[in-house]
Amino acid sequence: MSHGYTNNFALIVVLFILLIIIGASYLY
C-alpha cells in the first residue's frame, strides 16, 4: 500500500462527512 492512497482515502472520507453535515443542516 502507498501512503498517498491512504491520504487520498482519508481526504475523501472527511469531505464526505462534511457533505453529510451540510446536507443535514439544510434538511433540518
Q: What domain count does the chain have?
A: 1
Q: What is the pLDDT of residue 5?
A: 74
Q: What is the pLDDT of residue 16?
A: 98
| CA-based end-to-end distance of the chain | 40
Q: Which residues are CB-contacts of 1 (< 8 A; sequence separation ≥ 6)? A: none
Choice between 16 and 3, residue whose per-residue pLDDT is larger: 16
How many angstroms separate the CA atoms of 22 and 18, rounded? Answer: 6
Q: Which residue has the cell 500500500?
A: 1
pLDDT in tens, 7-26: 789 999 999 999 999 999 98
For residue 23, give its domain range: 1-27
